[in-house]
Amino acid sequence: MIYFADTYAEAVNKERKLVDYCLTSEENDEDRNQHRSHYNTKQLDVSPPPTFNQEPQTLIQLNNVSYNAYKDYRAMIDEPIPIIPEPSYSLEPREQPEALYELDDNFEIDAQNTPSGRNSNDQELLKRISGQVAQLLTLVNSMDDRLRRLEHKLNVQPRLLPEEDNIPKLPFKTIQELKIFETDYSDNLHNAMVNRVSLVSGKDMRTCIFNQLSDVLAPEVGHLCSWAGRNNNYSIQNTVITKILLDATRKNFPETKKNEFENVVKDWLKAGNQRYKRALQKQP
């Protein structure tokens, strides 16, 4: 039998009535009194279940597990909540650390220019970095040389810097243009011309010089020039254009010697008449 009651005391009273009802008439009054006395002894306390306001000792007697949970609950409530301060933010720029190393073109890794207190691992790291930088510079120079050659083959006009605006149109087609260029020569013009002519290169030093001479002197001018001015030709031995050609060649081949350069120029000038005749044959 299942019975629902609103209060604990009502449920106990109902249970007492059921016990009395179960004690049938087959039992005598003495047995009934014994059962009732036994029941009243066991179920005397009809008070509601204890609350957290009661003493802890009573809770221990009723249920140790509940008391342990109660202690944890009280400890959680009684413990003060820590207040975490808000972080302070500043809009001021942070102080940047000073550079540990300042490298230049002549930088070398040794015991003198390494900071005091650095161990061998730091020195090895710097050596590896400097080696990798050197490899990158070599690779960049190689790629720059290849791009110059491709631009020359594709006949791409180089982008002129502001100081290069006064560069004369190449190649020179008359001796008079060469003389005017010698008159208007300046240091800025020299550097600009070297940068312009050095864009023309070749597979070796001799080919490079030949290509640069053909880029600067047209066939109708080249056959009128000679190194020392023989046969009343225009001498280019001590001219500005020769200095420009030498510096431009050394930008592509730094180990070029002056006497080697002169011999190659002489060979090119000797074939000037042949180039001029071929150029005339190609004309319509």
d(CA 172, CA 271): 18
Provide the pLDDT for residue 95: 47
Residue 14 CB contacts under 8 Å (≥ 6 apart), including other chains: 3, 5
Question: Helix 205-216 crosses helix 258-270 at what angle (to 10 degrees)?
Answer: 60
Give, in order, the Cα–Cα distances in Å from 83 to each of 80, 86, 88, 126.
Answer: 9, 9, 15, 48
**Which residues in the chain come in under a pLDDT of 50?**
25-26, 42-46, 52, 54, 59-60, 62, 84, 86-107, 109, 111, 114, 160, 162-163
pLDDT at residue 221, rounded to an integer: 95
Q: What pLDDT shows up at residue 120?
A: 77
Amino acid, res. 86? E
Q: What pLDDT, on the 0 to 100 scale, is given for residue 100?
A: 38
Residue 16: the pLDDT is 74
CA dist 86 and 35 (Å) reads: 71
> Helix axis angle, 258-270 relative to 240-252, nearest 10°?
110
pLDDT of the residue at 103: 44
- What was the pLDDT predicted at 194? 92
Confidence at residue 180, expressed as pLDDT on a 0 to 100 scale: 92
Q: Which residues pair with 217 in a beta bridge?
A: 172
Report pLDDT for 121.
82
Residues 6+ apart with CB under 8 A from 132: none
Report the pLDDT value the prediction gives residue 67, as an integer from 0 to 100: 53
**Separation between Cα atoms, residue 60 and residue 53, nearest integer Å:** 13
Give me the residue spans of the domains in the chain.
Answer: 1-44, 162-282
